[in-house]
Amino acid sequence: MSVEKTYQKMKAKLSRIVPDFELRYKAELAYEINRLKKEKNAVILGHNYMEPALFHSIPDYTGDSLELSRRAAKADKDIIVFCGVRFMAETAKILSPQKTVLLPSEKAGCSLAESITAKDVRNLRKRFPGVPVVTYVNTYADVKAESDICCTSSNAAAVVESLGTDTIIFIPDEYMAKNVANETGKHVIFPTQISMVRHESTTDLDYEIIGWHGKCEVHEKFTVEDILNVRKQFPDVVILAHPECSPEVVDASDFSGGTSAMIKYVEQTSAYHYLLLTECAMGDNVAAENRDKEMLRLCSVRCPHMNEITLEDTVKALRHNQYVIDVPEEIRVKAAQSVERMIAIG
């Protein structure tokens, strides 16, 4: 495809969203990336939070964390370029160790992944012996390696219920733990709120989910007041909240689900106004695909980590083979068990 064709394809989707001069410039970058992708036998995975010009031009597959993990496991190219954040690229490496996995920016982290270490998990296990550990995929490989099973925003409740135990440790997202507790009818506590008394067995615990105080720096910013203000101005609005939002925000919304579940919900319902309580770029991407619907956005909240992934840096990633994601083999093998157990559940 020529630069002009790349531009026309992007314009067809994004003319109402991205200024024309920016589209022309970005089409040149996208063309070069797609050329390099073929030359290097690479596949590009793009998370739903990628900025609209990138999202609509270079990924071979787009999706939420779970869908992209599944894609990474099936990748049949030599190189996986992950347009997302580090924990996602690590998950790709965990599942496809024989491939080269590239993350276009070294700065694309995640506040949730930063909130807990492998040592923290070992300490939780010591304090709550025998209690299985469910770990949100927004964590680094060494934390996954200390866990029994992973989950994403789209399967958290199903993973918790699949264990069939009275008590679980759910880390590291405090709000997601509370939201899962509400969904599954369980009672959640946070270790700092209780004494250090060692329990001989888990049967005498009066709580069912043991959480951790991690938060997403984007989703924690949404408030019930935001929702009330938007509903006052747009009484017909349908409000969707990511499960990383507080339980109060989830409760005041009309729907809660992971990024792809939110996208599907907008596609399959027929309201005119929607408010997506999630990363802003996704609002642009959903608006581009649903031209008959209006996406309201509270756009002071762009994820600074997702924002690090640009077309410019993706060109460099393919040209210079950077930044290579490596996971030490002993950690990878253990982390793979947790991720594969999750994938088997769905």
Closest CB to ligand 13P among residues 99, 305: 305
By the 8 A CB rule, do 272 and 236 touch?
A: yes
Distance of CA 132 to the CA centre of its chain: 23
User: Pattern 68-97, binding to ligand SF4, x per CB under 6 A?
Assistant: -----------------x------------
Query: Does residue 283 touch ligand 13P according to CB under 6 A?
Result: no
Residue 208 interacts, among ligand 13P, ligand SF4, none and using kind-specific CB cut-offs from 5 to 8 Å, with none
Cα-based distances in Å from 300 to 71, 234, 277, 279, 304: 31, 19, 11, 9, 11
Residue number, 96 or 153, with CB nearest to ligand 13P: 153
Is 225 exposed, middle or buried, given 0-12, 13-18 or 19+ CB atoms closer than 10 A?
Answer: exposed
CA distance 130 to 124: 10
Q: Is 69 in the site for ligand 13P (CB under 6 A)?
A: no
Contact between 135 and ligand 13P by CB under 6 A: the answer reads no
Helix, strand or coil, per DSSP, at residue 104: coil
279 is a site residue for ligand SF4 (CB under 6 A): yes
State the nearest-atom distance from the C-beta of 151 to ligand SF4, in Å. Answer: 14
Among ligand SF4, ligand 13P, none, what binds residue 305 when CB lies within 5 to 8 Å by partner kind?
ligand SF4
Identify what 258 binds: ligand 13P, ligand SF4, none; CB under 5 to 8 Å per kind: ligand 13P
Q: Does 48 bind ligand 13P (CB under 6 A)?
A: yes
104 binding partner (options ligand SF4, ligand 13P, none; Cβ < 5 to 8 Å by kind): none
Pick what 246 binds: ligand 13P, ligand SF4, none; C-beta below 5 to 8 Å, kind-dependent. Answer: none
| Four-residue CA torsion sign, 310, 313, 318, 324 | negative
Our finding on whether 154 is near ligand SF4 (CB under 6 A) is: no
Nearest to 340 by CA among 84, 74, 37: 74
φ/ψ (deg, to 5) at 229: -65, -45
Q: In whole angstroms, give the CA distance from residue 310 to residue 50.
A: 8
Of these, 26, 258, 283, 325, which contacts ligand 13P (CB under 6 A)?
Answer: 258
Instruction: Decide which of ligand SF4, ligand 13P, none touches 75; Cβ closer than 5 to 8 Å per partner kind.
Output: none
Enter the tokens of residue 150: 């992973």
Q: How far apart are CA 75 and CA 85, in angstroms?
A: 18
Q: By CB under 6 A, name the one of 156, 263, 303, 315 that touches ligand SF4.
A: 303
Q: Judge whether 222 and 175 are in contact, CB under 8 Å.
A: no
Contact between 305 and ligand SF4 by CB under 6 A: the answer reads yes
173 phi and psi angles, rounded to 5 deg: -90, 110
Nearer residue to ligand 13P within complex by CB, 131 or 211: 211
Asked whether the beta carbons of 277 and 238 are under 8 A apart, the reply is no
| Cα distance between residue 304 and residue 256, in whole Å | 23
- Candidates 218, 250, 282, 315; binder of ligand SF4 (CB under 6 A) is 218
Contact string (CB under 6 A) for ligand 13P, positions 236-255, x = contact: ------x-x-----------
Task: List residues near ligand 13P by CB under 6 A.
Answer: 48, 64-65, 138, 152-153, 216, 242, 244, 258-259
Task: List residues near ligand SF4 by CB under 6 A.
Answer: 85, 110-112, 138, 216-218, 244, 279, 303, 305-306
